[in-house]
Amino acid sequence: MKRFATALLAVLTLSACAVTGQPAHPGTAAIYDGATITTAQVAAWGTAQDDMGYPNDPGAALTLLLLRPALDKEAATQGIVFDDKQISAEAQTWMSASKAKVVSPTPDMMEVVRTVRVLHALLLTTSGKAAIKTAVESIEANAEANPVYGHFTVVQFANSFDIVAKRYQNDQGQYGDMVYLVFKDLSGFNGNAQRGWMVGAGLPSPSPTASPTASPAPVNASPAPASPSPTP
């Protein structure tokens, strides 16, 4: 399970492909694989993270929503299951870690935590990394995203992954077994495109990201110990 960050970066093919950003219908964040993700869904996931005490980027929330079907499919194939009781407890631990008021998790909080938990579990398996690679390439080639979110690219996702993987290595002391929560910030969208009104109230705007034409720097260090294994 070591060097999974390096392994995923190695398999991400940084080829030039068509990018997202086609005109979208009002209220639509993205259309992908026959499904529509609304701006309301993206906002709800942002609010869920805000209420758990975490800054949030709409591009990262949309990235998770776009990835979720592929993540769920691969998790089912591998027999990776997290029941509601476990996810509810982990959502409350997220709140405690951020010093937010610990409340009974809302459905959106549960889905955010579950999606990030599954993403992390898949990153620890070879077939999981391959499934994520395939999904990211498919999203770049086939998703139609509202231009206000920017363009989704494999390169941007890889750059974002490099940054988040380093946080995963460095934030173990702060979050302990919940360190996987840093993967909520993975984004395939250009942060420069985000508008102030799209970010949670009172939260800073996303920092400028690396140029989408630049190659990501490799992650050389081994990751911190993985959080508890998923329940089969």
* Sign of the CA dihedral with 210 first, then 216, 219, and 220 last: negative
Residue with tokens 């579990």: 121
Residue 221 scores a pLDDT above 50? no
Residue 201 scores a pLDDT above 70: no
Residue-level pLDDT at 172: 85
**Mean of all residue pLDDT scores within the chain:** 81
DSSP of 32-66, one letter per residue?
Answer: ETTEEEEHHHHHHHHHHHHHTT----HHHHHHHHH
Q: Locate 202 and state its tokens.
A: 């009172």
The residues that bridge with 57 in the sheet, in sequence order, are none
Only one residue has tokens 């476990």, namely: 86
The pLDDT of 193-201, averaged and rounded, is 47
pLDDT at position 202 over 60: no
Per DSSP, the three-state class of 152 is strand
Q: Is 182 exposed, middle or buried (0-12, 13-18, 19+ CB in 10 A)?
A: buried
User: Is the predicted pLDDT of residue 196 greater than 70, yes or no?
Assistant: no
